[in-house]
Amino acid sequence: MGLLRIMMPPKLQLLAVVAFAVAMLFLENQIQKLEESRSKLERAIARHEVREIEQRHTMDGPRQDAALDAEEDMVIIYNRVPKTASTSFTNIAYDLCAKNKYHVLHINTTKNNPVMSLQDQVRFVKNITSWKEMKPGFYHGHVSYLDFTKFGVKRKPIYINVIRDPIERLVSYYYFLRFGDDYRPGLRRRKQGDKKTFDECVAEGGSDCAPEKLWLQIPFFCGHSSECWNVGSRWAMDQAKYNLINEYFLVGVTEELEDFIMLLEAALPRFFRGATELYRTGKKSHLRKTTEKKLPTKQTIAKLQQSDIWKMENEFYEFALEQFQFIRAHAVREKDGDLYILAQNFFYEKIYPKSS
């Protein structure tokens, strides 16, 4: 007798394959859920161990909450560069200060001079560090970076800032001096009455649109050293880059201001809780806009871009943009075109000695 072969109809074979595939997907899904449950359990155990240790320290004796004190002692300095959407951002700080319980103070320097005298530097540092009634505090003003460590300060303030494409910033400032903005439309500006366009100014070689006027963001980040304000100084640009990386908590760009605000809210909620929603929906988010501004022609832009000063300021801007995008890439995820802040991606475990 030959072997009896049982042949399954093609439809049953297809159903068997589909059933097997579904079973495998179900098993993979269950395994993934088990892995997620295990991860959650490990995190819960770790959090429990941390709480136990914190409670044990509390029971050992009265201890001041250092973390809480640090938050209440926090000072942020926003040494804002002119015409980088700084008023729009500062308005958010003012709108949130009562709700989030911190103080906002404007640093108003004579004639908007960004360089302080040595004696004013000492006064400013003393105010910032010892004015307890104004803590936590958010200070903002057109002042170049000041190194607090030179004055023997143990706890430095947190520096933040926003910069802008250098030509766009200069064009905005040029028309602002002539026509003002919609923030204070009745205020007479220094160059009011001058109807010359930015293109005409560049074509005629005017002083208000000269490449030297681009030299502003680098010295603002470089600081109070004389070399910072030497136009075209390579040392100044290198120092500005160093400070941006090592002395600034976060530097955003005008073109991506909402993402800058989102990152600040995630990292410093003591000050910026609610800032992102306020920026998206608030009436003051885009309040200040320079009036009568005309975009420069390609010929004008090309002429400015021939300057070594533009090349340095643009290099600094690109450097800041790359750093900001790097920070953002590690802090958010994108879904359906929107950005979402990532949840905490680390936890503590294997904590010894174990509590008895």
Range of the domain at 261: 71-341
Q: Measuring CA to CA, which residue among 158, 332, 165 is closest to residue 253?
A: 165
Please indicate, yes or no, if residue 33 is contained in any of the structural domains.
no
Catalytic residue among 142, 224, 286, 330: 142
222: burial class by Cβ within 10 Å (0-12, 13-18, 19+)? buried
Q: In this predicted model, what pLDDT tens digit does every residue of 74-97 receive, in sequence order? A: 999 999 999 999 999 999 999 999
Please indicate, yes or no, if residue 264 is contained in any of the structural domains.
yes
* Whether residue 230 has pLDDT greater than 50: yes
Please indicate, yes or no, if residue 40 is contained in any of the structural domains.
no
Please indicate, yes or no, if residue 61 is contained in any of the structural domains.
no
Number of residues that make up the chain: 356
193-207, 286-300, 330-344, range with the lowest pLDDT: 286-300
Separation between Cα atoms, residue 78 and residue 90, nearest integer Å: 9
Q: In this predicted model, what pLDDT tens digit does every residue of 170-179 receive, in sequence order? A: 999 898 888 7
Please indicate, yes or no, if residue 269 is contained in any of the structural domains.
yes
Strands 338-341 and 248-253: unpaired
158-174 mean pLDDT: 96
Q: List the CATH number of the domain containing 252.
A: 3.40.50.300
Q: In this predicted model, what pLDDT tens digit does every residue of 114-146 receive, in sequence order? A: 999 999 999 999 999 999 999 999 999 999 999
183-192, 205-214, 272-281, range with the lowest pLDDT: 183-192
Cβ–Cβ under 8 Å, residues 254 and 166: no
Buried b / exposed e along 71-101 (16+ C-beta atoms within 10 A)? beebbbbbbbbbbbbbbbbbbbbebbbeebe
pLDDT in the model for residue 264:
97
pLDDT in the model for residue 189:
44
Cβ–Cβ under 8 Å, residues 136 and 73: yes
32-36, 231-235, 257-261, range with the lowest pLDDT: 32-36
Please indicate, yes or no, if residue 47 is contained in any of the structural domains.
no
Which helix or strand (DSSP H or E) is residue 22 part of? Answer: helix 10-60
The overall pTM is greater than 0.85: no
Cβ–Cβ under 8 Å, residues 257 and 88: yes
* Whether residue 182 has pLDDT greater than 50: no
Please indicate, yes or no, if residue 241 is contained in any of the structural domains.
yes
User: With the C-alpha atoms ordered 268, 272, 277, 280, is the resulting torsion angle positive or negative?
Assistant: negative
Proportion of the chain above pLDDT 90, given as a percent: 60
Please indicate, yes or no, if residue 138 is contained in any of the structural domains.
yes
Separation between Cα atoms, residue 167 and residue 313, nearest integer Å: 9
Separation between Cα atoms, residue 81 and residue 222, nearest integer Å: 12
Catalytic residue among 48, 103, 106, 140: 140
48 is catalytic: no
Give the total number of structural domains in the chain.
1
